[in-house]
């Protein structure tokens, strides 16, 4: 999929596609949708982080709490595993 195709998605399809990215908090993608079209991945990322920055304190706390506790043996999702591996935190 290209960014042009992603930008052309309706809100529901956009959220289905990207809603998992921020710890399975689809409200981030839903709010970022309003900032389409995206000319680059950096613009998409900025739209999503802007959605978090503009969220209520309660929404931000819920997002942080949804992140797996890396100090436990709890199973984390594939996306989080890849993120942690890329950062060099797990093998």
Catalytic sites, residue numbers: 67
* 3 state SS of 61: helix
Identify which of 60, 20, 18 has the alpha carbon closest to the alpha carbon of residue 36: 18
Is the CB of residue 55 less than 8 Å from the CB of residue 64?
no
Q: DSSP string of 67-85?
A: S--TTS-----HHHHHHHH
């Amino acid at each position: 999929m290209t960014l042009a195709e992603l930008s052309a998605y309706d809100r529901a399809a956009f959220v289905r596609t990207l809603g998992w990215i921020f710890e399975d908090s689809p409200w981030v993608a839903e709010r970022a949708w309003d900032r389409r079209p995206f000319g680059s991945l950096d613009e998409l990322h900025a739209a999503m982080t802007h959605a978090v920055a503009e969220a209520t304190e309660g929404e931000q706390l819920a997002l942080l709490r949804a992140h797996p506790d890396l100090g436990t043996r709890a199973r984390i999702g594939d996306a989080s595993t890849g993120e942690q591996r890329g950062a060099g935190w797990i093998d």
